[in-house]
Amino acid sequence: MPSAPVGPGSASPESAPQGLALWWRAVRPRTLTLAFAPVLAGSALAYAEVGQLNALILICTLIGALAIQAGTNLHNDAADFLKGADLPLRQGPQRVSAMGWASPGQVRLAAGISFFLASLCGSVLVFFGGIPILLLGVASMLSGWAYSFGPWPIAYTPLGELFVIAFFGLGAVGGSFYLQTQDMSAAALIVGLALGLVAAGVLMVNNYRDMEPDRLAGRRTLAILAGPRAAKAFFALFMLAPAFLLLVPGGPKGGWLALLLLPLAARLVYRFQTEAKGLAFNRILGATSAFQLLLAVLIALGVLL
């Protein structure tokens, strides 16, 4: 089992989590809302459209989305350690492989279990949604694996933000809506894009925080290629654009409620612009994830009320 590195995120062996606490840490619970929020919004849009929800579809959609997110995080944990990318300079939350709390093999096995659970839920969803849902589910799991593994890991390229917009926005909202309605709407796509942009903002916080260690590890993320000034502009776009996007023709009923979040979005943009890179960005990351969930709640309230 690898030894723990010395760095900002290091902890003594006595403080290592055990059992379920270890694996709860490994799946990065702060990011799981990125899987929950689009399912919430897409299902609310569907209910507003057809006046009912299939409970089995809703449960399987939610569990499947969370399992794919957890599996992606676990694969990333093991892959970054094996590639030597979890350097001591990294300022993010502790990774279980890098800390020596679990071996990369154990973490990859846990990722496989997560994807297996997602596939079980997906088989139920394919029964209801057919080929489109099969293709979306297979693409989601393959992308979750390819995010950190394979010859061209997505996490090591400037395409990460496009990945989360596609799968944590358009795919998740659109898929949730389609499963309940057997149809697609402009509102579902607009909401998917809006939530996907905020998810991209979460990734931008993560990659901007770790620009230096990521560059040393050979990554070429959007934050690195664009540079600090452009990265700040991208984050502002990701956070401010959704409120106005929800107001375009064809958008969801009650989309104006998202305007209530503009002060909070502006506050997060200000913090991103002014706070020094480092541990403070972990709090910005958590707040940005929470912002996406709050946006999804307001979207759901808008279409239902």
CATH code assigned at 213: 1.10.600
For residue 14, being part of any structural domain is answered with: no
CB 129 within 8 A of CB 178: yes
Instruction: Give the pLDDT confidence of 186-208 residue by residue, as tens digits.
Output: 999 999 999 999 999 999 999 99
For residue 165, being part of any structural domain is answered with: yes
Q: Quick check: 59 pLDDT over 70?
A: yes
pLDDT of residue 149: 81
For residue 142, being part of any structural domain is answered with: yes
Confidence of residue 4 (pLDDT cuts 50, 70, 90): very low
For residue 200, being part of any structural domain is answered with: yes
Residue 180's domain comprises 21-304
For residue 16, being part of any structural domain is answered with: no
102: left (phi over 0), alpha (psi -120 to 50) or beta: beta
- The model carries a pTM of 0.90
First to last CA, the chain: 54
Contacts of 7 (CB under 8 A, 6+ apart): 87, 88, 89, 90
Structure tokens at 18: 């055990």
Contacts of 115 (CB under 8 A, 6+ apart): 67, 68, 71, 141, 144, 145
Handedness of CA 252, 244, 236, 285 (dihedral sign): negative
Q: Quick check: 12 pLDDT over 50?
A: no
How far from the centroid of its chain's Cα atoms is residue 20's Cα? Answer: 22
Instruction: Give the pLDDT confidence of 285-304 residue by residue, as tens digits.
Output: 999 999 999 999 999 999 99
Structural domain count, the chain: 1
Give CA–CA dist 100/95, Å, rounded. 9
How far from the centroid of its chain's Cα atoms is residue 287's Cα? Answer: 13
Mean pLDDT in residue range 45-52: 95
Among 58-67, 78-87, 159-168, 258-267, the least confident range:
78-87
Confidence of residue 1 (pLDDT cuts 50, 70, 90): very low
Instruction: Give the pLDDT confidence of 60-97 residue by residue, as tens digits.
Output: 999 999 999 999 999 888 888 887 766 555 666 778 88
For residue 9, being part of any structural domain is answered with: no
How far from the centroid of its chain's Cα atoms is residue 85's Cα? Answer: 20
**Nearest alpha carbon to residue 294 among 267, 249, 264:** 264
Between the alpha carbon of residue 252 and those of residues 125, 175, 224, 260, 302, the distances in Å are 25, 16, 35, 15, 8
For residue 3, being part of any structural domain is answered with: no
In the numeric block, the tokens 């849902």 are attached to 133
pLDDT of residue 86: 61
For residue 15, being part of any structural domain is answered with: no
